[in-house]
């Protein structure tokens, strides 16, 4: 059963997209981790030579190794774990959208609330961190949980894809 979005429905979806985009979004801290790790690596690489060449002393050598090691390890940890923090935000938002749609009753529920929930779910369906995109939930599980509201969510998805706002989550790629 295909669902058509009315102009009023599209206006609600556009407003929900504007609210989501203007709200706080997670920041990918991976580049910051890289910016810390690279100088740390250079300090570890260059300082032993500099200490020996200019006779800077053991205290300077140990301090530079400690600082370089901290920068390198801290930067690498931040670089490799930053994507998980970003993905966690997307997962929580998608779960909120799914739960709202699960609780929605198509017969007596507020259609605007359901459209906002579908928009929240779809806008957070793919977690973007760095140069990668990963799904923030299992689409098959989402299909099962959505049940009777799936056709409306698919209609919202088609509209948002046409607007260039989301990637496909539930609808198949056209031939």
Phi (first) and psi of residue 3, to 5 degrees: -110, 135
Q: How confident is the model at residue 130 (pLDDT cuts 50, 70, 90)?
A: low
Residues ≥6 apart with Cβ < 8 Å to 173: none
Kindly report the pTM of this predicted structure: 0.75
Query: What six digits make up the tokens of 20?
Result: 């989501």
Query: What six digits make up the tokens of 53?
Result: 């060449």
pLDDT exceeds cutoff 60 at 28: yes
Contact 47, 64 (CB under 8 A): yes
Q: What is the mean pLDDT of residues 58-64?
A: 87
Question: Would you state the pLDDT for residue 61?
Answer: 85
Q: What is the mean pLDDT of residues 103-126?
A: 90
Q: How confident is the model at residue 42 (pLDDT cuts 50, 70, 90)?
A: very high
CA gap 32, 24 in Å, rounded: 19
Q: Select from 130, 111, 144 the least CA-distant residue to 34.
A: 130
| 134 vs 69, residue with greater confidence | 69
């Amino acid at each position: 059963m295909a669902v058509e979005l009315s102009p009023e429905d599209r206006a609600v979806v556009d407003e929900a997209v504007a609210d989501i985009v203007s709200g706080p979004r997670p920041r990918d801290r991976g580049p910051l981790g890289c910016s810390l790790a690279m100088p740390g690596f250079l300090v570890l690489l260059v300082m032993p030579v500099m200490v020996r060449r200019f006779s800077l002393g053991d205290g300077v050598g140990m301090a530079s190794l400690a600082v370089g090691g901290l920068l390198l390890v801290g930067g690498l940890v931040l670089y490799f774990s930053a994507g998980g923090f970003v993905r966690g935000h997307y997962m929580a938002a998608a779960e909120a959208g799914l739960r709202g749609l699960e609780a929605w009753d198509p017969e007596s529920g507020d259609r605007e609330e359901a459209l906002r929930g579908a928009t929240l779910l779809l806008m957070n369906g793919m977690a973007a961190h760095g140069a990668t995109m990963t799904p923030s939930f299992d689409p098959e599980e989402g299909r099962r949980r959505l049940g009777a509201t799936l056709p409306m969510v698919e209609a919202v998805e088609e509209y948002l894809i046409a607007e260039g706002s989301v990637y496909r989550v539930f609808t198949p790629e056209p031939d």
